[in-house]
Amino acid sequence: MKIGISSTGRELSSLMDTRFGRCSYFIIYDTANNSTKAIENRGQASGGGAGIAAAQQLIDEDVDVVITGNAGPNAYKLLKNSGIRVYRCGSIKVELAIQLFKEGKLEEIVEAGPSHGGMGMGHGAGYKGGWN
């Protein structure tokens, strides 16, 4: 089984990135031979459709499972339609996320999270915080 984990870095000791489409890397862990491979997320720099690009990249890597914090509607649908199960995990070390998955302690995501609308869209019209 191949597991794709959204990550801030290239190592098992890196922290998970709870963002799916905008994470820096995916770590692909193969349970059959305990091997790992880090790939740069091609979707992270796109103006729109980051989740779709990231999902397609993991589909191309033949992953069976994705561990992330959240997946937007388009990415989630693409993963689910490809038979890939998606699990939620917080910002912990990638190696711990893998261990928790193996122990059956991660929650399967059964519906998509919110859409994020592309880069630079962090403070929309409804933003009530202070501007620095």
User: Has residue 24 been placed in a domain?
Assistant: yes
pLDDT tens column, 61-116: 999 999 999 999 999 999 999 999 999 999 999 999 999 999 999 999 988 776 65
The answer to whether residue 113 is domain-embedded is: no
Q: How many domains does the chain have?
A: 1
- CA proximity to 18, closest of 73, 120, 131, 97: 97
Alpha carbons 69 and 65: distance in angstroms, whole number: 13
Q: Is residue 87 part of a domain?
A: yes
pLDDT, residue 98, reads 97
Residue 128 domain flag: no
Would you say residue 97 lies in a domain?
A: yes
Domain boundaries, position 85: 2-108
Residue 54 domain-assigned?
yes
| pLDDT score of 116 | 55
> The CATH number of the domain where 54 resides is what?
3.30.420.130
The span from the first CA to the last CA of the chain, in angstroms, equals 46
Examine residue 10 and state whether it is found in any structural domain, yes or no. Answer: yes
Residue the block writes with tokens 């070390």 = 93
pTM: 0.85
The pLDDT, as a whole number, for residue 132 is 33
Q: What is the pLDDT of residue 121?
A: 38
